[in-house]
Amino acid sequence: MTTLTSRERVNRMFARQDHDRVPRCDSYWAETIARWQQEGLQGNYYTVLELLGSDFHGLCWVWPQAFPGVEEVVREDAETKDVRDGQGKTVRYWKNKSGTPEHLGFDCDSREKWEKIYKPALLKNWLQIKPEETRQAYEEGRRRGLWCYLCGVEPFEETRSLMGDEITMIAMAEDPDWIVDVSRTFTDVVIRNYEAALATGIEPDGLWTYGDMAYKNGTMCSPQMYRELIWPDHKRLADFAHAHGMKFIYHTDGDVNGVLDLYVAAGFDCYQPIEAKANMDIRKLCPKYGRQLAMFGNIDVMIMATNDRDRIEEEIRSKFAAGMATKGYAYHSDHSVPPQVSWATYQFIIQCVEKYGKY
């Protein structure tokens, strides 16, 4: 079998055609890279991706804000700082380590504020990427033979970012038309940004959209509520991708077993990163969904963090076997690789990916 370019490899994976090896990508906490540099890594985040043999190349990041560029520090101490951002929300960040920020408050707490302040601002400030930089990134990816994708955030993540979980969930039950309007508006703005990128003449291979819609034990709302309020815009994004010759990858953490049929119905091409600790397991999913939905990830970072090579090798071996049986599988950890994983261990992981990922 000939060695394929990354673009050829990933496209053949999506088509369930023969290809030489499992496509690869991964993500890492900043603290993980810092540890690895202390343990002998000569380079940075992108060096690790090169050593892994990553096949994917992002072109842009679209996360629209009503007031882009706004960041007002309202309080800080030696360890944290409180920031009011371009969505009008106030969050607390750690200064010296990564992690999910603490949500302190959301200014967009009523339909009136959305309609009078945030929606008009969002529509006015709709262009939030630099199309020329996106084109340059595309040219670099094409030069290297990589699978190039547009990237951004989907409407459920956007809505929660603007209004917070509590306001969003209550509104989904008590004022669903408001949620539909927020979701539709954000989706309109995201698509306009992608259209601005495409207007430069680029032809990306995919659209990879991010948004967490589930916790460890299930989705944040019922499947029916998702279907009625958010799913139509997810389908719009997938339809937009397909209309421009792109595959659609959807990222969400959490247990989404209850909505996978809706992903298929919306036309999703791929599901990522398939969080193992949230009851997601491709050894169970692939026999049912593997021909309709490519699987991207599911290698448990909690097992990686044990640094137990026997357990890690079995995790990779067994899940690669399940994914590769469909020819529609790509490697990724089931979340960002944490700093508990040593550099020696991750080098071993790369070796296992190479060993078990060949067709």
Q: What is the mean pLDDT of the chain?
A: 97
Cis before 273 (ω within 30): yes
The mean pLDDT of 164-175, rounded to a whole number, is 97
Where residue 299 falls among pLDDT bands split at 50, 70, 90?
very high
DSSP one-letter code for 2 = P
The predicted model gives 194-209 an average pLDDT of 98
Domain match, 83 and 207 both: no
Split at pLDDT 50, 70, 90, the class of 1 is low
Q: Are residues 49 and 71 in the same domain?
A: no
Instruction: Check whether residue 192 and residue 202 sit in a common domain.
Output: yes
Do 92 and 25 reside in the same domain of the chain?
no
Residues 94 and 236 in one domain: no
pLDDT-based confidence at 96, cuts 50/70/90? confident
Are both 247 and 205 inside the same structural domain? yes
CATH number of the domain encompassing residue 304: 3.20.20.210
Whether residue 89 is found in the same domain as residue 214: no
Query: For the chain, what percent of residues have pLDDT higher than 90?
Result: 97
- Are 95 and 222 within one domain? no
> Domain for residue 54, yes or no?
yes
Position 100 pLDDT exceeds 90: no
Residues 101 and 144 placed together within one structural domain of the fold: no
- Regarding whether 87 and 136 lie in a shared domain, the answer is no
> What's this model's pTM, rounded to 2 decimal places?
0.97
Whether 1 is in a domain gets the answer no
Cα separation of 102 and 105, whole Å? 9
- Please, what's the largest Cα pairwise distance for the chain? 61
Residue 99, domain extent: 67-107
Confidence class for position 328, pLDDT limits 50, 70, 90: very high
The share of the chain scoring above pLDDT 70, in percent, equals 100
Cα of first residue to Cα of last residue in the chain, in angstroms, is 9
Same-domain pairing of 179 and 87? no
Asked if pLDDT for residue 182 goes beyond 80, the answer is yes
- Count up the domains in the chain and report the number: 2
Strand partners, 94: 80
Same domain, 282 and 348: yes
